[in-house]
Structure 1
Amino acid sequence: MTTALYRRYRPQDFAEVIGQEHVTEPLMQALRSGRIGHAYLFSGPRGCGKTTSARILARCLNCEQGPTATPCGECDSCRALATGGTGSVDVIEIDAASHGGVDDARDLREKAAYGPAQSRFKVYIIDEAHMVTPQGFNALLKIVEEPPEHVKFVFATTEPDKVIGTIRSRTHHYPFRLVPPARLQDYLEELCEREGVAVEPGVLSFVIRAGGGSVRDSLSVLDQLIAGSNEEGLTYAGAAALLGFTEGELLDATVDAIAAGDGAGVFRQVDRVIETGQDPRRFVEDVLERFRDLIVLSAVSQATDAEAQISAVLRGLPEDQITRMRQQAGAFGPGQLSYAADIVNAGLTEMTGATSPRLQLELLCARLLLPTGAGEHGYAARLDRLERRLDVGGGIAAPIPAQAAASQMPVGETVSGEASAQARPVGAAERRGEDGSRGAGAPAGWRDQASRGAESRGVTARSG
């Protein structure tokens, strides 16, 4: 039997808590200056260190050399409250989900009147504090407002708004946050080195995405991967299969087919997704993540220190994967990437609660394959394609048939010159002015352009 990673590597002091410096540093300074509150409220998402910080605060308060910001770890109180310790009778953890009623609050109030048995303070850590009933909070109100000198309260909750305002106003509120991916990846790499586990590039990015910024959830996922690994360590393919993420090869094939406008190729990849039993919604999330990476890569590539910026923003990805993504970003333009990402994001929203995810996925792919789109982003996507045609043709755009040009022309756009004449339907009445001349009713600028075009065509005909 092995202890779970999140228990084995639980921080023992505030310096070991990662990603919460905005909380730990003020708490350490308060301990150094002796300005210690009688009640604290720790709030934030699950697995970000609220209960752990409450235990560390109890160690700091009851250390024989304290109250101190750095518990010694040698005294009886520090050893009892350390990971794997026996615990202390003066540090009481209460699960409010099962002890949040009026009777529990009255019992706590009566016991709090007695002094600590062997420590400096009696510390009550009330976990899941939002589960305390309003009646229970009201029963605690008086003792939280004016507790005995030897009592400290720490409320930990994921929903601080459900803690009644009269309690919140009597506490020092410290909001915890999710840990940034870069900081969390460094921490996971360090733990893998301690555990002696080899990790392929890209695996930890899967772990971080699965953990969602929660340290405890990320360590649980990493623990699961380590438990199922062999002598090769954590492999990219194994992590993708176990966690349900889309393999890079499938994503590359899908994005390349979209860039080339290859409808058959796109729907072949959709069929692979379904036949391999993957979740269509997770696949769409991964495609959206890929388009996000391509947008960032396209924008960062223009910077002077592009390589350093790419390594910082897309850290954890294999070098060959970044090379392939560079090629994919070059196959799109910035407008096309933004337009495609908007379509995928809208499709992902529509898939929520869908009864036929495959149908939604196929319709999404069909929208991605449309040659043009309406709206601002659609114009930008078409402009990107025209610019690439000019680049490939050496400054001369490929001719477009008149009927195709007329059919692709967005509503409200006009053309001038010969293209206008070609696009006009046969038999259409020509605009004439009051004097009967052709084109007199058109704006002056258009008439000038038309006349110059006619003169140039006449010169060409005479020279021929």
Structure 2
Amino acid sequence: MVTALYRRYRPETFAEMIGQSQVTEPLMTALRTNRVNHAYLFSGPRGCGKTTSARILARCLNCAEGPTDTPCGVCPSCVELSRDGGGSLDVVEIDAASHNGVDDARDIRERAIFAPARDRYKIFILDEAHMVTPQGFNALLKIVEEPPEHVKFIFATTEPEKVIGTIRSRTHHYPFRLVPPGPMLEYVQTLCESEKVAVAPGVLPLVVRAGGGSPRDTLSLLDQLMAGSDDHSVEYDRAVALLGYTSASLLDESIDAIAAREPAAAFDAVDRVIQTGQDPRRFVEDLLERMRDLIVVAATSAAGASAVLRGVPQDEIERMAVQAAKFGPAELSRTADILNTALTEMTGATSPRLHLELMIARVLIPASDDSTRGALARVERLERRIGVGTSGVDASSAATVAPSSATPAVSSTDASHAPASRPAPAADRGTTAPEAPTIPAASTASASAPAGQASVVPAAAAAAVARPIGPVTFQQVKDAWPEVLEAVQTAKTSAWLVLYTANVLEFRDGDLLVLSFPSQKDVASLKPTAAPGEGVGDYLKRAVNSVLGFTPRLMAKVNEPGASTPVAGPSAVPSASPVPEPQPSSPAAVGSQAAPA
């Protein structure tokens, strides 16, 4: 029979302990200077080395060359207290979970009176000390407070607050901690080399994560993987199946489906999770972990992320960099928040699959989120669709630009990264005017509105308006129409009420926007009014300029009953009446001129 891995590699000196320097260094200093206390309290999570440290301290105290901070390992006391030793008569280990009463405390008190059989000290190690009853602690109080010179007490517990204060105040308290992933990963890699076991890339980070920072739990899981592997090789698929984690391929498929907005692929991944019997909550936890990795990669780089994502292969980090590029900063943060909320709501849920599917639906539909973060996600999605890069977007600064939590009026792209916008159309409608040089967005916003009128875009956001690259297409106008309506609503609610019923039929000649309305009254409302710049058409033109970067000509018609929506093209629109353009001499003409953004 093979001894368990955590027993074969149990540390025998303080120098072999990992991740507990806050405990080992003061103890070694106390041993070197011969300032050892009569009672110690070791506390911390399970499996982090409390009992092992108590045994090492006993070896240091009873070593033939001691007290010393490094046991010799050859004297009878060191041999008996080693990992293969049978124990010493002068070191008494007591399980306080089953010896927690007054009678057990009296027995310890009576045994402490007698001198050690051979060694320097008689040492009592009480494991699970929090299980001792208050009466038992009170019975021990006197002997712990004033023990004989040859007696030492070491209490080990996971719940130090349950040890009564009178005992705690008479001990030196050393808190143990969980081992960080970095040192733990290096330790298990060294151990695998000692065992001559080949481990596939990505397995050890899963083992470290499953161990939760406990060396004993981590080694137990690694021992289980080694025992269930053939040819001294631990495969990734078997480790994922045994540890219950989601495979990297399924996570990649889920992330790609979310980034591409493909509901069929995303819900197919959810169905695979359910059909394979995997825990939905674990799937959400793994997906949230992957989203956190994408945020790290997007915030740094593929090279810089290697220092944070320890143990992750470089090819996987490069693949995550490609995935992160498909998201914007605000969308990554929003998706992570949705996953985190779903993970919390799934605790104790009777239908985890329902929560899982609703989570995917919320992630895929940013329009369902009326918060500022949802608005920024929609803006970033629009920027990617019209060809504006979002690599320089700062989600935190963009959140302050949004006019309200429900109105994503502008993009959050920095003005210094904004490309040259589309200029006003030439006098000859059959030709395209040459592109104008880039003009700061702040001056563009002021130029697109008449004198004395407030711009559709807030002043703080004017410097962050994104413009499409190249000529605007009909599809871009259709996609940006909801943003245009929201910009009109911000500027004038009555104008929005008229335009809300409009449908975009065509976009011709690079600047002619053809709309259809349910009534002739709505068509007439687009005509210029007596007040320059106050017409419905004026607000619409300024909104289109703020979102897409050009001022359109407008043509309106009444919906024909039963008529299908025309497709964009060069053909004329029947029954359509162009909206008269204001004369150049009037003030309205100034507001209708297309301003480059």
TM norm. shorter chain > 0.5: yes
> Which residue of structure 1 aligns with residue 377 of structure 2?
381
Q: Are 1:404 and 2:538 matched, yes or no?
A: no
State the Cα distance separating 1:226 from its structure 2 match.
0.2
Kept in 2, the 8 Å contact 1:390–1:396? The answer is: no
> Which residue of structure 2 aligns with residue 37 of structure 1?
37
The structure-2 alpha-carbon separation of the partners of 1:259 and 1:389, relative to structure 1 and needing over 3 Å to count, comes to same
* 3-state secondary structure, aligned to 2:234: coil
State the Cα distance separating 1:297 from its structure 2 match.
0.8
Aligned ranges 1:296-445 → 2 under 5 Å: 296-301=296-301, 307=303, 309-372=304-367, 373-392=369-388, 393-394=468-469, 398-400=476-478, 404-405=482-483, 409=486, 414-415=490-491, 423=499, 437=531
| 1:29-68 deviations in Å (ceiling 9; x for gaps) | 0000111011111111011100000000000000010000
Q: Distance in 2 between matches of 1:423 and 1:60?
A: 85
The structure-2 alpha-carbon separation of the partners of 1:112 and 1:260, relative to structure 1 and needing over 3 Å to count, comes to same
Aligned ranges 1:136-155 → 2 under 5 Å: 136-155=136-155
Which protein has the larger Cα radius of gyration, Structure 1 or Structure 2? Answer: 2
The structure-2 alpha-carbon separation of the partners of 1:371 and 1:36, relative to structure 1 and needing over 3 Å to count, comes to same
State the Cα distance separating 1:449 from its structure 2 match.
6.9
The structure-2 alpha-carbon separation of the partners of 1:250 and 1:65, relative to structure 1 and needing over 3 Å to count, comes to same
* 3-state secondary structure, aligned to 2:387: helix
State the Cα distance separating 1:115 from its structure 2 match.
1.0
| 1:310-363 deviations in Å (ceiling 9; x for gaps) | 222112122222121111100011111110000000000111011111111111
* 3-state secondary structure, aligned to 2:120: coil
* 3-state secondary structure, aligned to 2:152: strand
Q: Distance in 1 between matches of 2:16 and 2:531?
A: 86
State the Cα distance separating 1:114 from its structure 2 match.
1.0
State the Cα distance separating 1:264 from its structure 2 match.
0.6
Kept in 2, the 8 Å contact 1:39–1:172? The answer is: yes
> Which residue of structure 2 aligns with residue 226 of structure 1?
226
* 3-state secondary structure, aligned to 2:156: strand
| 1:184-208 deviations in Å (ceiling 9; x for gaps) | 0000000000000001110001101
State the Cα distance separating 1:215 from its structure 2 match.
0.3
Q: Distance in 2 between matches of 1:38 and 1:96?
A: 19
Aligned ranges 1:44-443 → 2 under 5 Å: 44-231=44-231, 233-301=233-301, 307=303, 309-372=304-367, 373-392=369-388, 393-394=468-469, 398-400=476-478, 404-405=482-483, 409=486, 414-415=490-491, 423=499, 437=531
* 3-state secondary structure, aligned to 2:126: strand
Could you tell me which runs of 5 or more consecutive residues in structure 1 were left unpaired when the two chains were aligned: none
State the Cα distance separating 1:402 from its structure 2 match.
7.7
Q: Distance in 2 between matches of 1:316 and 1:278?
A: 25
Which stretch shows the higher mean deviation, 138-147 or 373-382?
Answer: 373-382
Amino acid of the structure 1 residue aligned with 2:82: A
| 1:139-160 deviations in Å (ceiling 9; x for gaps) | 1111111111111111111111
Q: Distance in 1 between matches of 2:499 and 2:66?
A: 87
Q: Distance in 2 between matches of 1:171 and 1:156?
A: 12
Q: Distance in 1 between matches of 2:535 and 2:118?
A: 100
State the Cα distance separating 1:209 from its structure 2 match.
1.2
Amino acid of the structure 2 residue aligned with 1:159: E
Kept in 1, the 8 Å contact 2:109–2:143? The answer is: yes
> Which residue of structure 2 aligns with residue 455 of structure 1?
589
Identity between Structure 1 and Structure 2 (%)? 62
Q: Distance in 2 between matches of 1:199 and 1:42?
A: 35
Could you tell me which runs of 5 or more consecutive residues in structure 2 were left unpaired when the two chains were aligned: 389-467, 502-516, 544-581
The structure-2 alpha-carbon separation of the partners of 1:359 and 1:459, relative to structure 1 and needing over 3 Å to count, comes to closer
| 1:145-181 deviations in Å (ceiling 9; x for gaps) | 1111111111111111111111111111110000000
| 1:111-139 deviations in Å (ceiling 9; x for gaps) | 11111111101111100111111111111
The structure-2 alpha-carbon separation of the partners of 1:422 and 1:294, relative to structure 1 and needing over 3 Å to count, comes to farther
Root mean square deviation, CA, Å: 3.0
Kept in 2, the 8 Å contact 1:403–1:423? The answer is: no
TM-score normalised according to structure 2 size: 0.70
Kept in 2, the 8 Å contact 1:440–1:447? The answer is: no
**Relative contact order (C-alpha < 8 Å, sep 6+): which is higher?**
1
Q: Distance in 1 between matches of 2:587 and 2:246?
A: 55
* 3-state secondary structure, aligned to 1:156: strand
Q: Distance in 2 between matches of 1:35 and 1:59?
A: 16
Kept in 2, the 8 Å contact 1:439–1:447? The answer is: no
The structure-2 alpha-carbon separation of the partners of 1:395 and 1:187, relative to structure 1 and needing over 3 Å to count, comes to farther
* 3-state secondary structure, aligned to 2:343: helix
Kept in 2, the 8 Å contact 1:351–1:357? The answer is: yes
The structure-2 alpha-carbon separation of the partners of 1:458 and 1:138, relative to structure 1 and needing over 3 Å to count, comes to closer
Q: Distance in 1 between matches of 2:210 and 2:534?
A: 68
Q: Distance in 1 between matches of 2:471 and 2:35?
A: 75
State the Cα distance separating 1:374 from its structure 2 match.
2.5
State the Cα distance separating 1:379 from its structure 2 match.
2.9
> Which residue of structure 1 aligns with residue 427 of structure 2?
none
> Which residue of structure 1 aligns with residue 434 of structure 2?
none
State the Cα distance separating 1:381 from its structure 2 match.
1.8
Amino acid of the structure 1 residue aligned with 2:6: Y
Q: Distance in 2 between matches of 1:391 and 1:424?
A: 27
Amino acid of the structure 2 residue aligned with 1:350: E
Which stretch shows the higher mean deviation, 316-325 or 395-404?
Answer: 395-404
Q: Are 1:12 and 2:87 matched, yes or no?
A: no
Amino acid of the structure 2 residue aligned with 1:404: P
Amino acid of the structure 1 residue aligned with 2:342: G
Kept in 2, the 8 Å contact 1:406–1:423? The answer is: no
Kept in 1, the 8 Å contact 2:306–2:317? The answer is: no
Q: Distance in 2 between matches of 1:4 and 1:386?
A: 57
Amino acid of the structure 1 residue aligned with 2:71: P
The structure-2 alpha-carbon separation of the partners of 1:453 and 1:256, relative to structure 1 and needing over 3 Å to count, comes to farther
* 3-state secondary structure, aligned to 2:199: coil
Kept in 1, the 8 Å contact 2:101–2:132? The answer is: yes
State the Cα distance separating 1:84 from its structure 2 match.
1.0
Q: Distance in 2 between matches of 1:148 and 1:108?
A: 13
